[in-house]
Amino acid sequence: MSAFNPLPVTTRFAPSPTGSLHLGNARTAFFSYLWARQSGGRFILRIEDTDAERSQLRFRDALMGELRWLGLEWDEGPDIGGPSAPYSQSERGEFYRQLYAQLEARDQAYPCYCTAEDLELSRKLQRMSGQPPRYAGTCRGLSAAQRAERVARGLKPTLRFAVPKDQIIEFADAVHGPQRFSSNDIGDFIIRRDDGTSAFFFCNAVDDSAMGVTQVLRGDDHMTNTPRQLLLLDALGLRRPGYGHVGLLVGEDGAPLSKRHGSTSAQEFRERGFLSTAILNQLFRLGHAGDTDGWLPADQMRAHFRPQHLGRAPARFDESQLLHWQKETLERMSTTEIRAWLGAEDPAEFVDLIRHNVVLPADAVPWRAVVRGDLQPLGEGERRIIAAAGREFFAAAAAAYTEGNSELKMLTKVLKERTGRKGADLFMPLRVALTGSAHGPELAPLLKLIPPETARRRLESHAQNS
RNA sequence: GCUCCCUUCGUCUAGAGGCCUAGGACACGGCCCUCUCAAGGCUGUAACACGGGUUCGAAUCCCGUAGGGAGCGCCA
C-alpha cells in the first residue's frame, strides 16, 4: 500500500558544484524526486555555488547531466528557471543582503572581527580544557567605537548570527521522529563570510524556505545542523520547511562511501556500462523499503516509494546487489536496445546469442573474439578438459568438420559414431576448443557465427600439440 | 570533551506488544532442468548488539552498557 499524501510535497536537491555526483547524493536526490512526484508536488534543483573557489560550471553541467541520465527531471532549476529564480546561489546576493540587513537591524546578527588564526587558537584551547569548541562570543558585545577601531585596522568582518540563549528548539524529523535541542549548545555561527558571500547554514535554510520547499531530505550528517537553521528561520520570520534525515550511504567497510571503495560517482557507474534503471533499483532499496521486492521500471518507482520507510541506520552499498538489478534490467531490454548499449555494431543475431552472458559491456569482448578474432589463453579447467579429451578426439573432430559436418548437430552425430563419446564428454571439449571457455552461450548457433576456417583451425590445433 | 543519531541473517530490509518456532530480496550451498553458463523451479545455511526492567506476553515500550557515526569550520 503506498502512502496517502493529501498534500503535494515540494522537495529539492541542492548540490554544490565542486565535484561529480556522488552515489549518496544521487540517492537523496532520487528520494526527494520520488517524494515530490508521488504527491504531485514539485522537485527543485538549486545550485549551492557560494564557494567561488571550488565551484565550477563544468561540475554544475556534469551534475545536471547525471541527474538527467538517471531520469530525475526537475520542475525548477538554473537552466529552466521558475517562480523562485534565480536557482544558483551565486546570483541570489541581493536577496541575502536584505535578510542580513534585517538581522543586523534587530541585533540578531553582528560583525565579527576575529581572524581565522584567533578562532583556531580558541578552539584548540577549548578542546584541551575539555570544552566544546564553540565560538566564545568575543565580538558579540562590541560597541560602535570598538567596531570602528577594528575597521580602521583593516579587519574585514564576518557576520555572525546571535544565537538566543535558553531556547528549546523542537522539530519533527520525517525519518527520526521528534527532536529536541537546546540553543545553549550552539555557538554564534557565521552567516556571511568576510568576502561578503553567504555561508551554508544561512543560504541553504533561507532558500529552502523562500523557494517554498516543504520537505527537506538530506543526509544524517545534517541532523545537528538543523536546530541552528531553524533558529535562523525563526529570527527572520520565515516559514520552516519539514526536515528528514536519511542514514548515510556507506561502503563495504562501513565508512562513508569514498574513492577507496572504487566507483562512487554516478558517472563512473555509467561509464562502466551500468544502466540507470539498475542503479535506480538499487538506490531505491538502500535506506528505504518500498512496498515490493521485485524489479521496477523507473517510471513506476514513485508509486512504490514510502517516505515513512526511509532508513535511520547507515546503509551499505553492495555491488553484488547492483549487479543483480543490472541483470534484471538487461532481461527486459530488446535486442536492439542491448545492441545500442554494447555500442560495437554487433550483428543482431550475435547480440541475441550472447545477451544472457553479459552483465557489463566489457563482458561481450571475449565473445566477440570467439566470432571474429583470436581466443584468450585457456584457463586451468579448460586445459584439463582438452587434455582429457585427447588428441585423437580433436583429430576426429577436425576431420569430421572438414568433411562438411559444420553444423553442431551433424558434427556431434558423426563424432558420437566415430569416438563413442556422448553428453558432456562430447560437448565440452568441442565448446572449449571452439570458444576457449567451458561456459557460454548455446554452442550450435555460436558455431554458425564462427568462420569455417577459424573453427577448423581451432579443432586442429588440439589434434597436434596437446 | 559536549550535543545528537544509529544497532534484525554476510548485505539490503519487513516488523509499529501476541499473526515471529522473526518474513522477503541479494549473495552463498544443494537438487531439478540442461552440452556449459545464465535464466527458471524447488530447497538449505544464516539475524533481533548486551544487560536489566514494564507486561500474562517484547525484535517491538522504559533504563542502562557496549560498539559505530555525525555535528560543534570563513566546507557543504
Q: Which nucleotide is nearest to A198 (CA to C1')?
A: B74
Query: Contact, A450 vs A370, CB < 8 A?
Result: yes
SS (H, E, C) chain A: CCCCCCCCCCEEECCCCCCCCEHHHHHHHHHHHHHHHHHCCCEEECECCCCCCCCCHHHHHHHHHHHHHCCCCCCEECCCECCCCCCEHHHCHHHHHHHHHHHHHCCCEEEECCCHHHHHHHHHHHHHCCCCCCCCCCCCCCCHHHHHHHHHCCCCCEEEECCCCCCEEEEEECCCEEEEEEHHHCCCCEEECCCCCECHHHHHHHHHHHCCCCEEEEEHHHHHHHHHHHHHHHHHCCCCCEEEEECCEECCCCCECCHHHCCCEHHHHHHHCCCHHHHHHHHHCCCECCCCCCCCCHHHHHHHCCHHHECCCCEECCHHHHHHHHHHHHHCCCHHHHHHHHCCCCCHHHHHHHHHHCCCHHHHHHHHHHHCCCCCCCCHHHHHHHHHHCHHHHHHHHHHHHCCCCCHHHHHHHHHHHHCCCCHHHHHHHHHHHHCCCCCCCHHHHHHHCCHHHHHHHHHHHHHCC
Q: Which residues, 6+ apart, have CB-to-CB distance to A24 below 8 Å? A: A219, A248, A249, A256, A257, A264
Tell me how far apart the 2 most distant CA atoms of chain A are, in Å: 109
Task: Give yes or no for residue A3 having a pLDDT over 80.
Answer: no
Q: How far apart are CA A101 and CA A424, in angstroms?
A: 83
Residue with cell string 522539530 = A171
Q: What pLDDT does A237 receive?
A: 96
Q: What pLDDT does A6 receive?
A: 62
Work out if A427's Cβ lies within 7 angstroms of strand B: yes
Task: Give yes or no for residue A215 having a pLDDT over 70.
Answer: yes
First to last CA, chain A: 63
Which residue's C-alpha is at the least distance from the C1' of B24?
A: A293
Residue with cell string 562501513 = A254
pLDDT tens-digit series, residues A101-111? 999 999 999 99
Work out if A29's Cβ lies within 7 angstroms of strand B: no
Q: What is the mean pLDDT of residues A45-54?
A: 92
Of A64, A23, A33, the C-alpha closest to A269 is A23
- Using DSSP bridges, classify how beta strands A11-13 and A168-173 pair: parallel, antiparallel or unpaired: unpaired
Peptide bond into A366 cis (omega under 30): no
Q: What is the mean pLDDT of residues A331-344?
A: 93
Work out if A398's Cβ lies within 7 angstroms of strand B: no
Query: Contact, A102 vs A236, CB < 8 A?
Result: yes
Task: Give yes or no for residue A21 having a pLDDT over 60.
Answer: yes
pLDDT tens-digit series, residues A186-200? 999 999 999 999 999
Of A34, A63, A90, the C-alpha closest to A215 is A34
Query: Contact, A41 vs A267, CB < 8 A?
Result: no
Strand B positions closer than 7 A to protein CB: 1-8, 10-15, 24-27, 35-39, 68-76
Work out if A436's Cβ lies within 7 angstroms of strand B: no
Q: What pLDDT does A5 receive?
A: 47
Q: What pLDDT does A2 receive?
A: 40
Q: What pLDDT does A138 receive?
A: 85
Read off the pTM. Answer: 0.93
Query: CA A22, C1' B45: Å apart?
Result: 36
pLDDT tens-digit series, residues A23-40? 999 999 999 999 999 999
Q: What pLDDT does A130 receive?
A: 79
List strand B contacts in A 293-352 (CB < 7 A).
293, 309, 311-316, 318, 320-321, 323-324, 327, 331
Query: CA A220, C1' B53: Å apart?
Result: 31
Work out if A421's Cβ lies within 7 angstroms of strand B: no
Tell me how far CA of residue A123 lies from CA of A131, A156, A183, A229, A416, in angstroms.
Answer: 9, 21, 19, 22, 84
Q: Which nucleotide is nearest to A194 (CA to C1')?
A: B74
Residue A430 CB-half CA count within 13 A: 27
Q: How far apart are CA A273 and CA A297, in angstroms?
A: 18
Query: CA A418, C1' B7: Å apart?
Result: 66
- Whether the ipTM is more than 0.90: the answer is yes
Work out if A292's Cβ lies within 7 angstroms of strand B: no
Work out if A155's Cβ lies within 7 angstroms of strand B: no
- Torsion angle defined by CA atoms of residues A17, A19, A22 and A26, in that order, rounded to the nearest 10 degrees: 20
One-letter amino acid for residue A186 of the chain: I
List strand B contacts in A 181-210 (CB < 7 A).
181, 185, 187, 189-190, 193-195, 199-201, 204
> Rg of the Cα trace of chain A?
32
**pLDDT bucket at A258, cuts 50 / 70 / 90:** low
Task: Give yes or no for residue A180 having a pLDDT over 60.
Answer: yes
